């Protein structure tokens, strides 16, 4: 049978149509796999099979951007290069924006490749592809390169979408964790503050974000004894909130059965160590007051010193120990004891009160705080707390950079 040029042209057209149909079917399979959220290895394997089977690409390298650098996620054919060598070879091609034929005069490993295809999102490089052993006819090479671009670009977009989806899930998970932590913390902070014939309490809590690590509590043990605590738990989120919840439960339990603050602090330290294995810690100020003896015992565990104001004078309460949760056994514990005069004001606070960004020329430190207490210590706890915050906002003109908690007591 004799074939004419027309017959040959028709055969070539049929072959081209079959090739294009096969490529489109392959692309459809890739799209289906992407829509099914197939794993990255599966997508890479499908892409490599199409490149080898339908496009006769014998050597292939695909480097994709990750964390402001590039990693090689697909390679087959030839002798494998190390990632640094690949990246160094491509660094000289970064100005190229379109598929480019390599002429064989390039240095190093580029001599073993036929084409370089970059992928950009505006001015941001997303991926680089090197193609070698590429058996495509002269009349088909442009079409084949265009299809390779389409195929690889589909994979890049799919991987970017996977990344964005993971980021969205992580953001939603973090947001939910913050909401749960906030709910836990709100349950721990006393809704109603105590007032009776012996004591009046005022508190103010200003979280810097949705959830902080500050905590305070007040416990009436019996008719003549009361105990209070202010603390700062390291970290944020649900883990810190759960540690805070466990700490509150432990404090309330041991406060009812232990008379000595030293024993309570030791037990709390053991509990925090057991629960966190030294990965988190708590600073706190713990005090106990006896109405009959008018004596107050306290332990400052690495916390900002509370200030006791009486008869025009203010003193910082610094005796105590280190933060709890840092050592299996506390290296020392020095318990303070003070005779409390009627009308004494005790100001307890967390470090957010001192971590203020203040205007130039202004000062705000513990010495300034003591002066403020001396000048305003005759006011009620609630009034004092509000005046202190107004002072910071209007006079010192500072901006808080952390959570602020104030727990102020007037002992009659």
Residue 167: the pLDDT is 82
pLDDT in tens, 132-177: 998 777 777 888 888 899 899 899 988 888 888 888 888 777 777 6
Lowest mean pLDDT among 32-36, 69-73, 371-375, 408-412: 32-36
* Distance between CA atoms of residues 20 and 26, nearest Å: 10
Judge whether residue 188 has pLDDT over 80. no
* Distance between CA atoms of residues 103 and 366, nearest Å: 73
Q: Estimate to the nearest angstrom the gap between the alpha carbon of 268 and the chain centroid.
A: 27
Q: Which fold has domain 189-411?
A: Phosphatase 2c; domain 1 (3.60.40)
Lowest mean pLDDT among 24-28, 255-259, 388-392: 24-28
83-92, 161-170, 377-386, 393-402, range with greatest mean pLDDT: 377-386
Judge whether residue 22 has pLDDT over 60. yes
Judge whether residue 230 has pLDDT over 90. yes
Using pLDDT thresholds of 50, 70 and 90, give the confidence band for residue 194.
low
21-30, 104-113, 299-308, 400-409, range with greatest mean pLDDT: 299-308
Record the pTM.
0.62
HSE-up of residue 322 (Cα within 13 Å, Cβ side): 10
| Alpha helices (H) along 336-397 | 366-376, 381-390
The residues, any chain, with a CB within 8 Å of residue 142's CB and separated by 6 or more, are none
Domain boundaries, the chain: 11-167, 189-411
CA-wise closest residue to 388 among 357, 354, 412, 362: 354
- Percentage of the chain surpassing pLDDT 90? 45
CB atoms within 10 A of CB 148: 24
Task: Answer yes or no: CATH 3.30.450.40 is held by domain 11-167.
Answer: yes
């Amino acid at each position: 049978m004799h074939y004419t040029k027309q017959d040959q042209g028709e055969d070539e057209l049929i072959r081209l149509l079959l090739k294009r149909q096969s490529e489109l079917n392959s692309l459809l399979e890739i799209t289906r796999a992407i829509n099914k959220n197939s794993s990255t290895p599966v997508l890479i394997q499908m892409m490599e099979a199409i490149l080898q089977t339908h496009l006769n690409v014998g050597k292939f390298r695909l480097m994709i951007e990750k964390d402001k650098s590039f990693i090689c996620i697909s390679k087959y054919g030839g002798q494998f290069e190390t990632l640094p060598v690949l990246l160094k070879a491509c660094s000289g091609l970064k100005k190229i924006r379109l598929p480019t034929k390599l002429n064989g005069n390039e240095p190093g490993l580029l001599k073993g490749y036929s084409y370089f295809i970059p992928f950009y999102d505006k001015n941001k490089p997303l991926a680089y592809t090197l193609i070698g052993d590429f058996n495509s006819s002269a009349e088909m090479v442009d079409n084949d390169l265009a299809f390779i671009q389409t195929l690889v670009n589909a994979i890049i977009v799919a991987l970017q979408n996977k990344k964005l989806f993971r980021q969205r899930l992580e953001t939603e998970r973090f947001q939910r964790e913050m909401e749960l932590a906030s709910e836990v913390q709100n349950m721990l902070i006393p809704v109603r503050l105590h007032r009776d014939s012996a004591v009046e309490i005022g508190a103010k809590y200003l979280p810097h974000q949705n959830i902080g690590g500050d905590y305070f509590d007040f416990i009436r043990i019996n008719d003549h004894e009361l105990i209070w605590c202010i603390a700062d738990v390291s970290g944020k989120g649900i883990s810190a909130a759960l540690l805070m919840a466990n700490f509150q439960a432990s404090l309330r339990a041991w406060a009812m059965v232990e008379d000595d603050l030293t024993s309570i602090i030791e037990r709390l330290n053991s509990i925090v160590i057991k629960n966190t294995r030294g990965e988190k810690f708590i600073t706190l100020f713990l005090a106990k007051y006896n109405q009959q003896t008018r004596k107050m015992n306290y332990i400052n565990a690495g916390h900002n010193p509370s200030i006791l104001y009486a008869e025009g004078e203010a003193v910082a309460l610094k005796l105590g120990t280190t933060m709890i949760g840092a050592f299996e056994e506390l290296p020392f514990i020095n318990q303070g004891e003070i005779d409390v005069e009627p009308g004494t004001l005790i100001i307890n606070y967390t470090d957010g009160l001192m971590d203020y960004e203040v205007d130039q020329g202004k000062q705000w430190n513990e010495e300034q705080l003591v002066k403020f207490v001396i000048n305003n210590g005759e006011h009620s706890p609630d009034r004092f707390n509000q005046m202190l915050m107004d002072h910071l906002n209007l006079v010192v003109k500072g901006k808080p950079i952390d959570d602020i908690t104030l727990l102020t007591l007037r002992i009659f």
